[in-house]
Chain A
Amino acid sequence: MNPADRSTGQDTGVQRADASAAAAADAHSPLKPIPWKLHLAVLAVAVAFPFVFPSNFMVNFGVLALFYAFIGQSWNISGGFAGQLSFGHVAFFGVGAYASTIVQMRLGWSPWLGLPVAALAGALIGGVIAVLSFRAGLKGSYFALITLAFAEVLRIVSNSISITGGGMGMLIPMKIGAANLQFAERIGFYFLILALAAGSIALAEWLRRSRFGAQLAAIRENEDSARALGINVFAEKVKVMLISGAIGGVGGSFFAQYFLYIDPLIAFGVDKSIEMLLVSMIGGAGTVYGPLVGAVLLALVSDVTRTLTQIQGLSLVLYGGLLVVIIAFLPNGLLDLFSRKRGARRKKP
């Protein structure tokens, strides 16, 4: 059998595969491309969603789900794909939120410009944290702790300097108009965050297909082997933190524009770091669609509990319970459900 035969054989096999097989590939063959059909189907559902459910409540649900999918992807790219588990990803989010709000409020820049500014600021802080901790050789739980510490330091700093408005936070004045990144209808925000989330998913898919993604998977699995094969482990880890930081920063900027308010606890609260890693882990860390699946579930749980009860924080309690169940039975995340089914099917004949 020559290589050409083999690869065309695989391609037609993949094209015939149904969505569950694609999801299985997402969970279990980290470097195989996901077929375009699945991406298009998900995108079609996401585009149709606000037209099928046009109520403010449902569109808001969609915005939050996509927002968590987006910032979850920020964690997933460094934590899931490259295996650098962080507890302080909110640092990127908060720095992005403040950077874009500061250039808007203090310098009078357009909030649209705030998005790339937030990306740069997030990438910068990602790079700084990466260089400092990876130079020092911090791995695993040490890296997780140092990121947590960075986020806390940033929270305290933002609480005590004047440019951020200190503990009072910053209120962005309401000036509705698309040029001002404030949409009269929530659907405008919906399509903005959909575009961002789709971009982050495209990036994750590119990682599966690219040399860079293969190098990240190698680093995640075994740094010594990766190094032995010629991979510059330090440089690749810094690169992935730059990318992850940029996404987190844009997420912060979007959040500030959506709620028009930012303060140190919102911008650098530990809860957001936890949510970022939870949505990826519940959906499936290191998969393309893991953060989206986890985020839809998180938004569902939080909306359902908020509608049915008045208890503050109950949604996170429920979500935590869900996490325990998922870690016990599906340690690779919800997307693993599909591959298990597929595995069982494969064994029968």
Chain B
Amino acid sequence: MMLQVSRLTKIFGGLRAVDDASLEVEQGSIVALIGPNGAGKTTMFACIAGFLPINGGGVQFLGRDITGWPVHRIARAGMVRTFQITQPFARLTVHENIAVGAYQSFPDRHQAWDHAAAVARQVGMEAMLEQPASDLTVAGRKRLELARALATSPRLLLLDEVMAGLNPSEILEIIAIIRSIRDSGVTVLLIEHVMHAVMSLSDQIHVLSYGRIIANGTPQQVVSDPAVIEAYLGRGAADQGATAVAEEPHA
């Protein structure tokens, strides 16, 4: 098992933002974490990656207990996250941005810069290498987040809504890129609201609602789960709309 999150709890004041949530990510898979807005997905990501201290539970990565490790140490161990609200190094060029990531796995300048260029090609940014990151569109910034994280040669990528704000053709491109990343041997855990992307990419889905994992399984299992339908569409919807929702992915 690549990542094992057990009974994770995160409390903000009186709010249990993440409540006793467990999930597992198997090596070589693409796993999605979905849930309504405010369910605690990004908080859970931040806890897993070490950005927030947790109030209970633990995180195991590659067989080691990484609970409480500082962010940079977790990243060096091979788990790297991207940010939902993109955080580019604004005054650096695209190539320089990706090179910062590449330097983490290649201390030598030439290797790092070549690796950064190769990663840029992998995510379709080779034409933008010399642009300052501040000039990028939303789609460009999302890609840059992905590229920079990928350049560190991670074992596990945590992608936080890399498709939000993209148009349908850009989403199709990102789906293909994520698949190619997985095929190159990197395991992926993603938060996503674009359901057709989640359905077509994921091997496993975990559903978070009010900080609790309410369902997990394959995409087919999860969309037909009454608890999930209720969480998304409200009480009662499960009975009326179960069949419609279950068929949506094929549409």
Contact = CB atoms under 8 A, between A and B. Distances in A.
Contact of A221 (B89, B104, B107): B89
Given A228-B49, A230-B80, A214 B87 contact: no
A218 interface: yes
B99 interface: yes
B47 interface: no
Contacts of A210: 109
Given A214-B99, A231-B104, A30 B91 contact: yes
B192 interface: no
Interface stretch (B26-34, B113-121, B225-233, B242-250): B113-121
Contact of A228 (B71, B113, B117, B126): B71
Nearest to A233: B72
B99 A228 contact: no
A162 interface: no
Contacts of B51: 224, 227-228
Interface in B111-145: 112-114, 117-118, 126, 132
A7 interface: yes
B1 interface: no
A185 to B, nearest CB: 42
Most buried by A among B82, B88, B109, B118: B109
Contacts of A221: 88-92
B152 A229 contact: yes
Contacts of B70: 232
A175 interface: no
Contacts of B92: 30-31, 217-218, 221
B44 to A, nearest CB: 16
A15 interface: no
B71 to A, nearest CB: 4
B64 interface: no
Contacts of A233: 72
A230 B149 CA distance: 10
B112 A211 contact: yes
Nearest to B129: A6
B91 A232 contact: no
Interface residues of B, number: 38
Given A211-B107, A211-B109, A230 B75 contact: yes
Taking chain A's interface residues, is the majority helix, strand, or loop, or is none over half, making it mixed?
A: helix
B75 A227 contact: yes
B83 interface: yes
B94 to A, nearest CB: 11
A268 B146 CA distance: 47
A222 interface: yes
Contacts of A1: 126
A227 B96 CA distance: 16
A214 B72 contact: no
A214 B107 CA distance: 11
A229 B80 contact: yes
The interface size bin for chain A is 20 to 34
Interface string B48-73: 01010000000000000000001111
Contacts of B110: 7
A39 interface: no
B114 A230 contact: no
Interface string A17-30: 00000000000111
A230 B89 contact: no
A79 to B, nearest CB: 15
B100 interface: yes
B100 A214 contact: yes
A225 B87 contact: yes
B96 A29 contact: yes
A210 B81 CA distance: 24
A70 B99 CA distance: 29
Contact of A230 (B87, B104, B118): B104
B246 to A, nearest CB: 37
B235 interface: no
Given A209-B109, A210-B109, A211-B112, A222 B72 contact: no
30 contacts: A1-B126, A28-B132, A29-B96, A30-B91, A31-B99, A209-B109, A214-B103, A217-B96, A217-B100, A218-B89, A218-B92, A218-B100, A221-B89, A221-B90, A222-B87, A224-B51, A224-B87, A225-B83, A225-B148, A227-B51, A228-B51, A228-B80, A228-B87, A229-B75, A229-B80, A229-B148, A230-B72, A230-B152, A231-B72, A232-B70
Given A214-B96, A233-B72, 8 more contacts: A7-B113, A7-B117, A214-B112, A222-B88, A225-B89, A228-B71, A228-B80, A229-B101
Query: Which 10 A/B pairs are nearest by Cβ-Cβ distance?
Result: A230-B75, A221-B89, A3-B114, A225-B87, A211-B103, A230-B76, A227-B71, A218-B100, A230-B104, A31-B96
